[in-house]
Amino acid sequence: MSPRSARLARLSRSVTFSACHRLHSKALSDEENLKLFGKCNNPNGHGHNYKVVVTVRGEATNPPCASLQIDPVSGMVMNLTDLKEYMQEAIMEPLDHKNLDKDVPYFSEVVSTTENMAVFIWDSLQKLLPQGILYKVEVHETEQNVVVYKGEETIVK
């Protein structure tokens, strides 16, 4: 297939799960945490119905990212059944119906913000998916609050 006729695509799949957490940093005093996080610092925590959208891009080949395209044989970027299973393992099993701060070891040392949840999900998926295929993770904490994470990006200062 010539480069001119290659078709590049991105495929997204979403899942929803429920979890609770408390926004609280061990690096801050109780007063500072209350001032910074407000009602989200409630000692008993609070819950959300999260929506996570995972986007992958065409199948990666060796070297990684050399050819990201729709597979000419299957016509797919990735088999949706496989993506569903990866998301089950990386998102649903560790996070659904959990107290993030108490049940997920990652959040025992990291504040369970939506930003950090996006990083956790990215890292978990990276361990399962073929190298170079993960494009973006979106975590919707509410309809108004969404975090988008695309892995490590360089910030030029």
Catalytic status, residue 141: yes
- Is the peptide bond preceding residue 105 cis, with omega within 30 degrees of 0? no
The residue annotated as part of the active site, out of 141, 143, 152, 153, is 141
Catalytic status, residue 97: yes
The residue annotated as part of the active site, out of 20, 40, 89, 115, is 40
Rounded to whole angstroms, what are the CA distances from 119 to 44, 51, 102, 106, 141?
24, 15, 18, 11, 14
Rounded to whole angstroms, what are the CA distances from 128 to 19, 88, 105, 152?
23, 11, 19, 17
Catalytic status, residue 46: no
CA angle in degrees (0–180, nearest 5) for 142-96-43: 70
Q: Are 147 and 115 in contact (CB under 8 A)?
A: yes
The residue annotated as part of the active site, out of 97, 138, 140, 153, is 97
Annotated catalytic residues are 40, 97, 141
